[in-house]
Chains A and B, each alone.
Chain A
């Protein structure tokens, strides 16, 4: 039986000055790189496939398979781009990881670049996290000075340059093709797929885009092996995962547990609900994943478990709300977010989020009618699956799931025409 918490990625965070190369090297840092450079790149891709590692940015795509899509011997430059544009509401795992342990990401980048034969990698980090950007820049500089980056890394003949690239405040750039456009110095708007980044990504060359937590997991897989990685988690969602608990819990924070753990287990470790006020609703993986309620405390939080229960694992950002919070109000706030962040490229998302906000604000003001609920669902139906990228799909999740579980609260707003439920109390 595996322990309730399995610190792998988070273990080094407790060490003094954990962000420095010195500390990192004292704690097995860059041993995986030395080992990886003795292997054939295709062995590393195979090992990643064998480990079952799936993308930690929300979609859960098998990482080794993604690496394997890069055409080899095509004569084009290959690129690795790290999606560090963490901004999905509730999500707060990559920021602390990069702040506390930037070298684990950089070591993962070097190994991955070697595997996919990339000689240039970029870390696209959101701009609002200056301390993280500072630490990443310093870690990259230290890695160059120590010979882990640059020409002929550790005498292997492999060259790699890494750049830290600060974004400028656009949630949509977390979408991988919008991120690539943004990295090319353009407006961050998603591209039509296909072609996929694996064939035409950055500068129209084969590109792997992976999340921070995904790539930071790679050195451990190299050192421990695929079978070791699979001792944690479940068959189709193996490995450890950082679960971020926020909101009305006694001790919010970062808890690294095997995939498939439950909110009940996590809540227990986090001291339960704050002040004992009962749980009302929560997101399993950020605001784009449909809401869960107190009935979902025992849902195994992995890709399959969350999906079977009607939601998605997303980024394992567990935002937890107690009975004092109005669901329509929360849904309105999230919808305002999606409206603000909609890039404007496609009509269903641009126009749909605009009108959803208008309707929800009217309902929360107490001026709604019961037919507004039908209108909301109708607009959602016109956005879901009809938008250019997943932002539109995410935007309807809080609304449809909110109405599914808490329709009475929306109806109550219409009946009373009052603001009794309209605000959240602290």
Chain B
């Protein structure tokens, strides 16, 4: 058995991450993990987990939504969350860990009240996304050190705390540069506008997304990603079609351009003969 100094010296990761892995590793193997306390996932969460399983022909398909459910409870995927999913799906902790660590949206450390994701893929970056990200990093950093990717400003989970990340293409390129708060779109951003947005989030305000429902918080968003929308029907009416979205349709309407008219009765082709 190595001394801990040797482990830290050999690790390519930073000491904090190494420490986390060293201390959590015994549970990740799947054996002898009876010590993991999953009581934070109460009966209502178990019921939801079972409801997710019921959606699919095979239970394991429920794992991705269930990890979103876990994040709605704890704001990240903890070891307890992994054990919870494993128990519900009759998988090993290792099998669940392998999945949880593969996907960007499953966070390995507790997130802030809000998750701010700035697109820094090429097109958004060329239009100012890199500047937006740099400005937010500086603002949310401390002691002159910019906040890093997936780091949190403030005590995670407390009001006004913010986790910042740079994101890959968010499929809103006609509206770039874009960012998201809890996966709701804020389109056509500027560095100053994005800074104001983050400041108001820190002050406890909930600015309306350009497209999306009124903001709640990261955990509420994760509950919806798991497929639970109770009592939030009004969210559906949040704005969707930006001017950019309907530009082509509008020009066509203005100029009287249409697709060719459909025939009165379009017949089906005859039934093909069996070969």
Interface 0/1 of B75-104, CB less than 8 Å to A: 000000000000001000000001100111
A246 engages B173 (CB within 8 Å): yes
Interface 0/1 of A331-346, CB less than 8 Å to B: 0011001001101000
A188 engages B122 (CB within 8 Å): no
A160 to B105, CA, bound (A): 30
A185-B89 contact, Cβ under 8 Å, with A165-B64, A317-B173: yes
A257 to B247, CA, bound (A): 12
A13, A246, A254, A337: the one contacting B168 at CB < 8 Å is A337
Interface segment out of the listed B15-23, B124-132, B197-205: B124-132
Using C-beta atoms within 8 Å of the partner chain, give the interface range for chain B.
35 or more
Q: Which chain A residues in 152-184 approach chain B with CB under 8 Å?
A: 163-171, 182-184
A166 to B105, CA, bound (A): 11
A225 engages B266 (CB within 8 Å): yes
Q: Which chain A residues in 235-263 approach chain B with CB under 8 Å?
A: 240, 242-247, 251-257
A337-B121 contact, Cβ under 8 Å, with A87-B168, A186-B99: yes
A404 interface contact, C-beta 8 A: no
Using C-beta atoms within 8 Å of the partner chain, give the interface range for chain A.
35 or more
Interface segment out of the listed A131-139, A299-307, A357-365, A409-417: A131-139
Q: Among B56, B57, B64, B167, which residue has the most Cβ atoms of chain A within 10 A?
A: B64
A185-B64 contact, Cβ under 8 Å, with A128-B117, A130-B212, A130-B221: yes
B62 interface contact, C-beta 8 A: yes
Q: Which residues of chain B are near A333, meaning CB under 8 Å? A: 120-122, 125
A4-B225 contact, Cβ under 8 Å, with A131-B211, A171-B168: no
Nearest opposing residue in chain B for A228, CB measure: B262
B172 engages A134 (CB within 8 Å): no
Q: Which residues of chain B are near A203, meaning CB under 8 Å? A: 57-58
Q: Which residues of chain A are near B267, meaning CB under 8 Å? A: 225
Interface segment out of the listed B28-36, B37-45, B181-189: B181-189
Interface 0/1 of B151-185, CB less than 8 Å to A: 00000000000000001111111111000101111
A187 interface contact, C-beta 8 A: yes
Nearest opposing residue in chain A for B98, CB measure: A187
Q: Which residues of chain A are near B229, meaning CB under 8 Å? A: 134, 137-138
Q: Which residues of chain B are near A13, meaning CB under 8 Å? A: 241, 245-246, 249
B269 engages A46 (CB within 8 Å): yes
Nearest opposing residue in chain A for B243, CB measure: A253
B141 interface contact, C-beta 8 A: no
B253 interface contact, C-beta 8 A: yes
Q: B: which residues have CB within 8 A of A? A: 55-58, 60-65, 67-68, 89, 98-99, 102-106, 117, 120-123, 125-128, 131, 167-176, 180, 182-185, 209, 211-213, 221, 224-227, 229, 233, 235-238, 240-241, 243-253, 255, 257-260, 262-263, 266-272
Q: A: which residues have CB within 8 A of B? A: 2-8, 10-11, 13-14, 17-19, 39-40, 42-47, 50, 77, 86-92, 94-96, 99-100, 120, 126-131, 133-135, 137-138, 163-171, 182-188, 203, 220, 222-228, 231-232, 240, 242-247, 251-257, 269-270, 287, 317, 319, 321, 325, 330, 333-334, 337, 340-341, 343, 424, 426
Known: A131-B212, A131-B238, A244-B173. 12 other contacts (CB 8 A): A2-B260, A5-B251, A7-B248, A7-B259, A39-B268, A90-B123, A96-B241, A127-B183, A185-B61, A188-B103, A252-B173, A253-B246
A–B Cβ pairs within 8 angstroms, 24 of them: A3-B259, A7-B259, A10-B248, A11-B259, A14-B253, A19-B240, A43-B270, A91-B169, A94-B171, A95-B171, A100-B241, A127-B225, A130-B212, A130-B224, A133-B224, A182-B64, A187-B99, A188-B102, A226-B269, A244-B173, A246-B123, A330-B122, A424-B125, A426-B127
